[in-house]
Amino acid sequence: MASTPINSIFDGAKWFLDRGEEQNEYLQPLKLNGLIYLSQAYYAGLKAGAKLMPAFFVAHDLGPVDPNLYRALEQRQLNVFYEPVVGEALLLIKSVWKKYGSMPTNQLTKELKSHAPYKNSYNPKIRNNEIPLIEMAKFYGNLNKPKKEVGKPKFLRTQNGDVVNVTQWMPKKKGI
């Protein structure tokens, strides 16, 4: 078995939980699974299908989840030994946090469920159908598809705390 930059899914989960705590946000198990899923998927897309951590994801009714992490989070606390995330793995999960960390759980889940790897693997008649890593790599690595499918939205919060999608303002040309 090939070595992975992050030794355990719990190391990545702990990093995200710490970021949430720093921002006074409780990360729901489904959101944490989504962030871990995206980290694995983007890494696989960048590294020709290689794993970021020893984890696998299934197309659950709730969205893409690692069944082991989800089960462990049911207890609301991870009682395991953690190793710090470093190097390129740290850079990658920081970018996932920056892009998706402020997104509400239901919005993140809805987006992930609309992506091809989940949709192609989800079957309500088959419980916990595995999402192939190669499909995740192709989709999130932008292989053989238009850029707009994944997109790079920017989310900010309003004064009321609502999350909004923002785009750069472009002035109208005179005379049009």
Please state the domain extents for the chain: 9-147
Phi and psi angles of residue 102, each rounded to the nearest 5 degrees, phi first: -85, -5
Tokens of 28: 């729901």
- Kind plus residue range of the DSSP H or E element containing 129: strand 129-130
Q: How far apart are CA 78 and CA 27, in angstroms?
A: 13
Residue with tokens 């469920």: 113
Q: What angle do CA 57, 62, 119 make, to 5 degrees?
A: 65
pTM greater than 0.95: no
The ranges of the chain with pLDDT < 70 are 1-2, 76-77, 142-157, 161-167, 175-176
Cβ–Cβ under 8 Å, residues 16 and 94: no
pLDDT for 63-104, tens place per residue? 999 999 988 887 766 777 789 999 999 999 999 999 999 999
pLDDT score of 148? 45
Q: How far apart are CA 172 and CA 176, in angstroms?
A: 8
| Secondary structure letter of residue 69 according to DSSP | H
pLDDT score of 174? 74
List Cα–Cα distances, 166 to 112, 153, 169, in angstroms.
19, 7, 9
Q: How far apart are CA 34 and CA 117, in angstroms?
A: 13
Nearest by Cα to 105 from 116, 113, 93: 113
